[in-house]
Amino acid sequence: MKKTRKIAAMIAAMALTAAMCVPTAMMSASAVDPTYTVTIEDNGNISAKTHSFSAYQLIAGTPNAEDDAETLTGTDSAFTWGAALDTATKQDAFITAVKTAFASDSTKTKVAALQLSTAESPATPSTPYQVAEALGELTSASDAAKLAAAIDGISSTLTATQTYAGNGAAAKLTGLNGGYYFIKDTTTINPTSNDASSKFILQVVSNQTVTIKTDAPTLEKKIWHNDSTTDAPNTEDNTAPTFNTTVTGNGWADVGDNQIGDTVYYCIKTYIPDMSEYETYKYQINDTFSDGLTYDTTAGVTKIEVFDKTGAYVTDLTAETTDTGIGKPDVTASGQTLTVNFVDLKACLLASSDITDLTNVTGGYIYTYYQATLNADALVSGGVNGQQNNPNTANLTYSNNPNQSGSGTHTTSNTPDDTVYEWTYTYEIDKTDENNQPLAGATFSVSVGGSKLYFVPLTGADLTAALAKVKTADDTALTAQANTLYYRVAKAGDTGATQTIGDASDTTNTKYYLIGLDDTKTYSIAEESAPATYSRQTTADEKTISDTYSATGNALASLNGEDAGGLGVDTIQNFKNSTLPSTGGMGTTLFILGGGVTAACAGIYLVSKKRTKEETAE
């Protein structure tokens, strides 16, 4: 009598990310019977052509045409051991693995009754038909996952019936005889690629084309590039940010530039993969700051927003509140590293009352915002060839194998690193006289928006350390020059900061080198006092720093309008005071003396004339 047996929960449940088990069903292996082909196609994120697959025939039999070859059909004798289980040793290993996987499940009575080839009376070794009957008890998704894991555990001892080597051609498993197959993704996953294994699939099928059932997240990082001092990112309107593809312009880009002490804003965009084949899903952002950047622990991670695949806002996850490490992201900062650990992304997303079904957000994105401060250890560019900046790099650690069940430690991959670049610059003030000769003894202030900046005078070891962080136009570290005073923009907490550059009593230094300036700000350079006998320049000079970058933002293309050199210099010229006599000077004395002599002469004349008149009268 003919029987049709459905061989287990292998179809819908075994279809997703990490190691792919594609179903295949073949007819008997006689010369006239057909063979079958399973074609595995790419999905939107992962290329099947770069993955390798092995197919293992466990039970041979004839697909049942009446139900579109989802089952095998026939009497006991129609079922035989498949090519992968061609010896008693392999058959016993298979039966042992299946029995062990379901040993604690008392409902799987046919599985428990399976016998090895060494069974003795009254028991007898199980036939392939009886094995198929036992596998028919495994009807749930979790049963199928356990079964696939059990088979995978012995797959290294089995001989693959057919393989595809990931050679870039169409991914096909061809020449497969009818039966029940275990198909495994055997790709070695690159730990720094956006890739993952494919879920095991157990199924009986006819010729068919399937899509590779795997997915992996991506990460993209940006820094806020502002074109004016008032520009700052807006995260209050629940709108997904626009990531610029160029390094310039206002908004989120691959390059930023700031003044030492300024806030630097960052945003990371991560893709939400299909996690349906995973029980738990590791998902952790890893961010590394260079020494010139200090993570803002006070502000922390300011926002973690979830958007669906249409770009619609879904929810804001609370970053700073940590419960058991499951429901909310854990934010940890240590030294120059920051981690935002979602622990189990599935549980984390479902902990939000705004997310009831992960299919609503699968394919969407998470935007994570945080900020840092450009500090005194920032590397500084002092010219076009001074190609040094302050990078910030991030990647994402994620689960890469859905065939590992439970909440234990899973194998993971990291996305490729994504780096953005923060720049800061220098400027020089030169003091000259009316003959364009160096002139000492002046003082200055530098203001932005009407507020005077504070600077730290650099001397001794502090000067040596600061100059080592500046690269000049010939791409060498800046060295102290004669007749030059050096200042770094002060940051919060600096001691000894001053708003006055220079020294009125100085008779040596005529140049003033400023370290750690921004290209966005307009710097108003004002002479506060001029050297003795010189007139002070009463109008402030308004100066800005201009820059352009390479396509990736990691190098300068020009600085201050020059494609070589490019150090910005403001020359302030003084002129000597007027040489005309002034009140209280020697000229007044001469006038007084002259007037006295004239008056004396007039008195003598008058006295002489009077005496003459008197003598005449007598």
For residue 62, the SS3 value is strand
10-14, 25-29, 182-186, 543-547: which range is least confident on average? 25-29
Interacting residues of 287 by C-beta distance below 8 A, sequence separation 6+: 266, 268, 337, 338, 339, 340, 370, 392, 393, 394
Integer Cα distance of 150 and 200 in angstroms: 11
pLDDT averaged over every residue in the chain: 85
- DSSP designation for 155: G
Residue 29 predicted with pLDDT over 60: no
Residue 505 predicted with pLDDT over 90: yes
Residues β-bridged to residue 162: 55
pLDDT digit string, tens, across residues 536-576: 999 999 999 999 999 999 999 999 999 999 999 999 999 99
Residue 195 predicted with pLDDT over 50: yes
Burial of 141 (0-12, 13-18, 19+ CB in 10 A): middle
Provide the pLDDT for residue 190. 85
Integer Cα distance of 215 and 273 in angstroms: 6
- Count the helices and strands in the chain (H runs, E runs): 7, 41
62-71, 217-226, 249-258, 355-364: which range is least confident on average? 62-71
Mean pLDDT along residues 521-534 = 96
HSE value, Cβ hemisphere, 13 Å, CA-based, for 35: 12
Report if pTM > 0.85: no
Provide the pLDDT for residue 297. 93
